[in-house]
Amino acid sequence: MKRCILQEPGLIIVEDDAPDPRPGPGDIVLEVRAALTCGTDLKAWRRGHPRMPCPTPFGHEFAGRVVQVGAAVEGFALDDELMSANTGPCNNCRYCQRGQQNLCESLMDEMILGAYSQYLLITERVLRSNVYRRPDHLPFEHAALLEPLSTVCHGMSGVPLRDRDESATVLLLGAGPIALLWLVALKRAGAGRVVVAGRRPFRLEVASRLGADAVLGEDDDLEASLAQLTGGRGADLVVECTGSIEVWEQAPQLAARGGSVVLFGGCPAGSRVSLDSYRLHYDGVAIASPFHFCPADVEVAAGLLGDPSANWSPFITSTASLDELPAVFENLGAGQQVKCAVLPHGPGSS
Ligand SMILES: [Zn+2]
Ligand SMILES: [Zn+2]
């Protein structure tokens, strides 16, 4: 089969004769109908990633059709069309037993990588917790949003969002794919006013199309604009979606007294940040930094994707073949994309 390997940072190799995956008794093999580019992949391409030592199969957001089924698999059959997360919990370790499956000790040992391939092995562990049928109305490239949307649903599960609080203001720092998924999830949860602050005009324009109540660009004075929008209070919820140390440090300064901050973008290993203790203590600004997802979050995400009234089209800003993947990553950093849908079996296949 054909697949893409991240040989080293900056170098993607397209292999034409990689071995076809073979399912064990509890596994299945998917024909990948769509795989999506993502910020994590871009980080790995730029500087390497501790969770993906090179050379590594590449890509972890996908949806597809079942083409092989292990002898012991129950509940899934040939030709099923599925959307899947990229990990599954062990259900045995201390964290799993405390309901913190996002911290499972062996979560990353069986992480599925290699979505930029024609075929992909889905292991028993992922299959039993985090795989859903593709809703009929949902194209494969939208179904492949399940994994990043699950991380957002996990982040949202921890914030005290008052239901349908029209007077609340949420500030999203960053306008990349993850911030835009937060925007959609927040709006659907009834968050009052959502403000998106980003650098790339193209992505801010997408944010507006997805329902942002205000967008702030590089030329806007963020603090002053936010103060104006909130009567000087600041945002009730600030969600940092950039993974930059400066933005982590800035986030609590933009929150209202008694507000919450979610530091959502992972920074490079070894990063240290410095936060204003007055804001945290005397102003009661709560800080959380949630990572990854639990099966319950994947279920919520699958439910959102199953809602036919949601519009995911603005997330997919281009399509490409596996052969085009090296060029896709060369251009991804320019900020003219949200996500590129890689279609390993050609256009029209999804
Ligand atoms: Zn991702
Ligand atoms: Zn575990």
- CA of 254 relative to ligand 2 center, distance in Å: 36
- CA of 240 relative to ligand 2 center, distance in Å: 27
Amino acid letter, residue 185: A
- Domain spanning 3-151+293-342: which CATH class is it, in words? alpha beta
Burial of 296 (0-12, 13-18, 19+ CB in 10 A): middle
Prediction pTM value: 0.96
Instruction: Grade residue 164 by pLDDT with cuts at 50, 70 and 90.
Output: low
Res. 320: pLDDT tops 90: yes
How far from 212 is each of 123, 158, 216, 250, CA to CA, in Å?
A: 38, 22, 10, 21
Q: Express as a percent the part of the chain with pLDDT over 70.
A: 98
Beta carbons within 10 angstroms of residue 309's beta carbon:
5
Domain 159-288 has CATH 3.40.50.2000: no
Put residue 10 in one of left, alpha, beta given phi > 0 → left and psi -120 to 50 → alpha.
left
Closest ligand by atom to 339 CA: 1
What integer pLDDT is reported at residue 159 of this predicted model?
83
Query: CB of 193 within 8 A of CB of 229?
Result: yes
| Average pLDDT, integer, range 1-19 | 96
| Average pLDDT, integer, range 317-330 | 96
- CA of 348 relative to ligand 1 center, distance in Å: 23
Closest ligand by atom to 38 CA: 1
- Segments making up each domain of the chain, as ranges: 3-151+293-342, 159-288
- CA of 242 relative to ligand 1 center, distance in Å: 14
Q: Which residue has the higher pLDDT, 159 or 98?
A: 98
Token couple for 321? 């073949």
